[in-house]
């Protein structure tokens, strides 16, 4: 039994996340965690809300709440949504926890002791009206490259060019809108990543199984010359810097956020200290550590966080596999939290149950390139895969058992060449599915699941038990018994993707509840002759083009929403 430590990128605290956030990290991580549990691995799946930095402060200001109260409310809101989405975290913590405060300060002290921290003076905007220094995202203005007025002090929202606040034309405060800004010196602390380049190069060279997307992003940062990173900010909310002269400053959110993976594991362990030891996950060699995240987060996880861990000179577990993906776009445009552009998770769950969204996002995962979400495509895929293929298989099979055999799985009858060939074909599909799950190839895994559903439908149609019911009763019984077990296999392989529906189907077959074990050699004989089954209610309703048009009109009008200063996308 292997040990798999799985983390997904921490969702920002600033409001409900959109479908792109779910597709980019949370859902792929959950599907992989569920698969690893199915094959019997010991799994720890950790996540948390990312609560520090300018997104939190600006979100709280917009909501008119004290920042601590805002973060508490938003954490509860997000946690409830993720439960409704059936994300199977072992623990969903908070980066503002006392554990993360202590651990982040510990890492800083270790890095400073080892000579990897340096003090420098930066020149930053100071707002007279706000009475404070303005970190990069607190400064907005006009982009010097494309002329967009949607630029922030770290990046232009339109052309995506990286910026410094002083690059902006007509800069102003994102808090008050004031243009009464002055450039003043401010002392800050830097993590000397340049001193760790050779060590980082050697570490990356030992990583195997990384996607080319991840490797190319990491290599780009190294090839262009890795820079030292400022790890402090002039903010009120965050983890205080434990160094004289730095009172009133906090750590940069991207310094403390990855450390929260470890801190959330500590918090998880404290909930049951007699049986859970967090060190066996973070300070052990027999653990495979996998991170799931969008491509924009790759540099921080492939470069910056490893520098923190390596520079500590302590035996921390570093990531083995980074599963980075491209972006999900929305009707030809960009999802955006700050502009409320796209479909957000609470809205999605109000429209349809979680499994509709989970299946579409997994089967169209933006792995090789960006994927565009459109309601037309969503309707077509959901109807074809969930309603016409899987849902139809379950309904026609179990309804036949109910109508012809009073809901009792028939006995007698010997398998024929058709069943032997079926088992061979099924075994090949299961092998392919397991390989694709193991490599985190989500779209290919979904294709394999779809192929198994189609195999089952094809078997049932070809054997036509409704025709043999009177002409060859034994043949009919074998077909029905096999088809019932095929339904069980189809639900079992679907469980990582559509867990709620899969559990409904497995319960209707009288199979044990909980984590359904990966199909074994006897998977077509698990539901025994004489077992009583039930026909579940309609699993997936068909969606119409009118429904698609209604949603496109509802959500599409937000794609041109005017920009305002606010939390990042």
pLDDT interval class at 565 (50, 70, 90): very low
Sign of CA dihedral 198, 203, 209, 213: negative
Q: Please write the tens of the pLDDT for every residue from 241-251.
A: 999 999 989 99
Q: Taking 60 as the threshold, does the pLDDT of residue 564 lie above it?
A: no
Q: Taking 80 as the threshold, does the pLDDT of residue 138 lie above it?
A: yes
Q: Please write the tens of the pLDDT for every residue from 85-133.
A: 999 999 999 999 999 999 999 999 999 999 999 999 999 999 999 898 8
Give me the pLDDT at residue 559, please: 45
pLDDT interval class at 569 (50, 70, 90): very low
User: Is 72 assigned a ligand-binding role in the annotation?
Assistant: no
pLDDT interval class at 321 (50, 70, 90): very high
Give me the pLDDT at residue 304, please: 95
Q: Under the phi-then-psi rule, with left for phi > 0, alpha for psi from -120 to 50, and beta for the rest, what region is 514? A: left
Mean per-residue pLDDT for 424-450?
97
Contact 399, 466 (CB under 8 A): no
Mean per-residue pLDDT for 259-288?
93
Contact 169, 142 (CB under 8 A): yes
Q: Taking 70 as the threshold, does the pLDDT of residue 482 lie above it?
A: yes
Q: Taking 90 as the threshold, does the pLDDT of residue 36 lie above it?
A: yes
Residue 208 class from Cβ within 10 Å (0-12 exposed, 13-18 middle, 19+ buried)? Answer: exposed
Q: Taking 80 as the threshold, does the pLDDT of residue 148 lie above it?
A: yes
Contacts of 329 (CB under 8 A, 6+ apart): 20, 335, 370, 371, 372, 373
Q: Taking 70 as the threshold, does the pLDDT of residue 78 lie above it?
A: yes
Q: Structure tokens of 342?
A: 């796209």
pLDDT interval class at 566 (50, 70, 90): very low
Q: Cα separation of 58 and 76, whole Å?
A: 19
User: Is 146 assigned a ligand-binding role in the annotation?
Assistant: yes
Angle at 281 between CA 280 and CA 285, to 5 degrees: 80
Mean per-residue pLDDT for 160-179?
89
CA-based radius of gyration for the chain: 27
Give me the pLDDT at residue 558, please: 56
Q: Taking 70 as the threshold, does the pLDDT of residue 567 lie above it?
A: no
Residue 386 class from Cβ within 10 Å (0-12 exposed, 13-18 middle, 19+ buried)? Answer: buried
Mean per-residue pLDDT for 146-175?
87
User: Is 230 assigned a ligand-binding role in the annotation?
Assistant: no
Q: Taking 80 as the threshold, does the pLDDT of residue 557 lie above it?
A: no
Contact 379, 351 (CB under 8 A): no
Helix%, strand%, coil% for the chain, nearest 5: 50, 15, 35
Domains with residue ranges and CATH for the chain: 3-116+192-325 (3.40.50.620), 117-189 (2.170.220.10)
Give percent of the chain with pLDDT exceeding 70.
Answer: 97
User: Is 143 assigned a ligand-binding role in the annotation?
Assistant: yes
Mean pLDDT score across all residues of the chain: 93
Angle at 18 between CA 12 and CA 23, to 5 degrees: 95
Contact 179, 129 (CB under 8 A): no
Sign of CA dihedral 56, 365, 325, 308: positive
Give me the pLDDT at residue 338, please: 67
Q: Taking 90 as the threshold, does the pLDDT of residue 429 lie above it?
A: yes
């Amino acid at each position: 039994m292997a040990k798999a430590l799985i983390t997904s990128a921490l969702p920002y605290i600033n409001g409900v996340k959109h479908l792109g956030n779910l597709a980019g990290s949370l859902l792929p991580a959950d599907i992989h965690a569920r698969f690893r549990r199915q094959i019997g691995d010991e799994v720890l799946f950790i996540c948390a809300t990312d609560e520090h930095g300018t997104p939190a402060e600006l979100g709280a200001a917009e909501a008119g709440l004290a920042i601590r109260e805002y973060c508490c409310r938003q954490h509860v809101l997000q946690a409830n949504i993720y439960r409704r989405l059936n994300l199977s975290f072992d623990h969903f913590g908070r980066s503002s926890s006392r554990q993360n405060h202590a651990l982040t300060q510990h890492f800083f002290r270790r890095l400073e002791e080892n000579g990897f921290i340096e003090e420098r003076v930066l020149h930053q905007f100071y707002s007279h009206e706000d009475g404070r220094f303005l970190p990069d995202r607190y400064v907005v203005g006009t982009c010097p490259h494309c002329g967009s007025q949607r630029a922030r002090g770290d990046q232009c929202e339109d052309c995506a060019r990286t910026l410094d606040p002083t690059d902006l034309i007509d800069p102003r405060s994102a808090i008050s809108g004031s243009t009464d800004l002055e450039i003043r010196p401010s002392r800050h602390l830097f993590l000397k990543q340049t001193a760790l380049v050779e060590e980082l190069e050697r570490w990356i060279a030992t990583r195997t199984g990384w996607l080319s997307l991840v490797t190319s992003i990491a290599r780009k940062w190294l090839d262009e010359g890795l820079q030292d990173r400022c790890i402090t900010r002039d903010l009120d909310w965050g983890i205080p810097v434990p160094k004289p002269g730095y009172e009133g400053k906090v750590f940069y959110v991207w310094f403390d956020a990855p450390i929260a993976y470890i801190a959330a594991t500590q918090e998880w362990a404290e909930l049951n200290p007699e049986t859970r030891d967090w060190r066996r996950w973070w300070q052990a060699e027999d653990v495979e550590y996998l991170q799931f995240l969008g491509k924009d987060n790759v540099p921080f996880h492939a470069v910056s966080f490893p520098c923190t861990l390596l520079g500590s000179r302590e035996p921390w577990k570093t990531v083995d596999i980074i599963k980075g993906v491209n972006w999900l776009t929305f009707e030809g445009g960009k999802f955006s939290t700050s502009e409320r552009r796209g479909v957000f998770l609470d809205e999605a769950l109000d429209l349809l149950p979680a499994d509709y969204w989970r299946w579409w996002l997994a089967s169209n995962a933006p792995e090789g390139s960006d994927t565009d979400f459109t309601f037309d495509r969503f309707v077509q895929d959901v109807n074809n895969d969930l309603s016409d293929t899987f849902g139809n298989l379950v309904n026609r099979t179990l309804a036949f058992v109910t109508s012809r055999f009073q809901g009792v799985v028939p006995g007698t009858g010997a398998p024929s060449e058709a069943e032997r060939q079926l088992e061979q074909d099924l075994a090949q599909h299961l092998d392919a599915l397991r390989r694709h799950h193991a490599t985190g190839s989500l779209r290919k895994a979904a294709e394999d699941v779809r192929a198994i559903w189609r195999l089952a439908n094809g078997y049932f149609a070809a054997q036509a038990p409704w025709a043999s019911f009177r002409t060859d009763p034994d043949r009919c019984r074998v077909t029905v018994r096999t088809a019932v077990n095929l339904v069980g296999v189809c639900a079992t392989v679907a469980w990582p993707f559509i867990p709620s529906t899969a559990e409904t189907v497995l319960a209707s077959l009288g199979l044990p509840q909980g984590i359904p074990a990966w199909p074994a050699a006897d998977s077509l004989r698990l539901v025994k002759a004489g077992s009583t089954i039930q026909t579940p209610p309609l699993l997936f309703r068909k969606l119409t083009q009118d429904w698609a048009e209604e949603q496109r009109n509802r959500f599409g009008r937000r794609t041109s929403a005017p920009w305002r200063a606010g939390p990042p996308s």
